[in-house]
Amino acid sequence: MSGILPYPLLSLALLVLWLLLNQSISAGHVILGSVLAVLASWAMAALRPEKPRIRRPGAALRLTGMVVVDILRSNLAVGRIIVRSREPGVNAGFMTIPLDMRSRQGLAVLSIIITSTPGTIWMNYDAAKGTLLLHVLDLVDETVWIRTIKGRYERLLMEIFE
């Protein structure tokens, strides 16, 4: 796929973006959007980014569902801490998690997942040691967070990206 379409997924996403923005699936917009999507993917190819290997769409779908449920649950948990707790943030703290994943794309997705989930923030990734520094709002039991991040997210992300 290195000829006309160096990044087929990117081109497809850009075409969908164009059609959604214009709120139309007329032939004219499909053609215009396709031309723009292909041109943009050529521009992307000129930057020569490291080509990600994305496999297992089923795992990606399962991960998405998991993240949506977790974000919903964390919203409730953090909301409860803010509203109910007499001294909110008293349990907040830093923790370190050893990661096995080395794929840069996988780590990028993991950082977005962790930070957009209320209650956890990605602070720092130590590439030499492969450890991740997190800040957690409700740090009562570290093993729960390690189990969530390693068992739920990292395993699926490694299936997708490695």
Interface with other proteins (CB under 8 A): 17, 20-21, 23, 71-72, 75, 78-79, 81-83, 87-90, 92, 94, 96, 102, 104, 107, 111-112, 115-130, 133, 135, 137
Nearer to other proteins, 53 or 102 (CB): 102
CB of 119 to other proteins, least distance (A): 6
Nearer to other proteins, 37 or 107 (CB): 107
Per DSSP, the chain holds a count of helices (H) and strands (E) of 6, 3
Cβ–Cβ < 8 Å for 63, 109: no
Contacts (Cβ under 8 Å, ≥6 apart) of 7:
41, 44, 45
Sheet holding 93-98: strands in order across? 93-98, 131-136, 120-126
Nearer to other proteins, 6 or 130 (CB): 130
Nearer to other proteins, 39 or 64 (CB): 64
Q: How far apart are CA 143 and CA 155, in angstroms?
A: 16
For residue 135, give the H/E element and its range: strand 131-136
